[in-house]
Amino acid sequence: APHTRRSRPTEQSADPDALRRRCVMLLSLQPELLATIAAALPTEALGRLSCTCRALKHALDELVPWPAPGRAMLRALTTLDEAKWTTTHMELRARGTLDQPPALSHYASFSCAGGSTVIVFGGRTTNHHFSSDSWALDVQNMKWYRSASDFSGAAPSPRCFNADSTGGGVLCDALGQEWLVIFGGLCEPGYRDNETWMLGPLGPAHTAPSWGWHPVQDDDLVQSPSRPTARFHHTLTVVGQTLIVHGGHDRTLTPIHAMGRLTLS
């Protein structure tokens, strides 16, 4: 039975009903005793008790003040009991609107500004058109801003599959400013390139219109030997202040094992 501790079986207690009557239910223990248990056992030992965490949490809520360090340990142990999804339903706009991106697939997504801003770039629309747009979302008020809308210089061509992981892509320069790095991808005509672009300097979402695009190692070649192999379906991961590109497919859909590293200094 859950939340129980059985006495050692003996010949006299072999009867299941007798054993059940001798079970000690954790929920029946005094909160002070549970606090003592929590303080005496390390967190990993409490974790081995498995389903006892709800009983301990019940005692945590009932006993005030809770003796330290038992309270902190139980808080850490029961945190996962509160895990839950929250679904945000974005209001749909008519086609052609300028205040939010269209429905997209195969786009790249990154975070910046301490997690207050999410950036999406590229992707493919529901009518299978490739996109070169970038958008910034203020996660606090769920408002979108078009990135680089005030920028008139060169920018990446439409593309998708240019980052299959969303754990990287943002680097800091010597001044501490954040820059989003875009590399390669599947381009609109169906070819792959190894163009590299930086968007920034980044900041809160409402500053997105002032961001600008800047090419990296620009030599007027869409597939340059000075940059990593052209690819799509690759991953981008930031380790320290280094961006690592790894894997992906080349133009023959052959997996690529080569790795490239990019730093801003």
173-201 pLDDT per residue, tens: 999 999 999 999 998 777 888 999 999 99
The confidence score (pLDDT) of residue 169 equals 85
CATH 2.120.10.80 residue ranges of the chain are 104-262
Question: Distance of CA 32 to CAs 4, 41, 72, 81, Å?
Answer: 18, 14, 15, 22
The confidence band for 120, taking pLDDT boundaries of 50, 70 and 90, is very high
- The residue ranking higher by pLDDT, 116 or 76, is 116
How confident is the model over 151-156, as a mean pLDDT? 92
The confidence score (pLDDT) of residue 214 equals 95
pTM of the model: 0.66
Average pLDDT, the chain: 77
| Domain 104-262: CATH class, spelled out | mainly beta
- Using the predicted structure, report yes or no on whether residue 216 has a pLDDT greater than 70: yes
> Could you give the CA distance from residue 84 to residue 2 in angstroms, rounded to a whole number?
23
Using one digit for the tens of pLDDT, what is the confidence trace for 1-48?
444 444 444 444 455 555 445 444 555 566 677 667 666 666 555 555
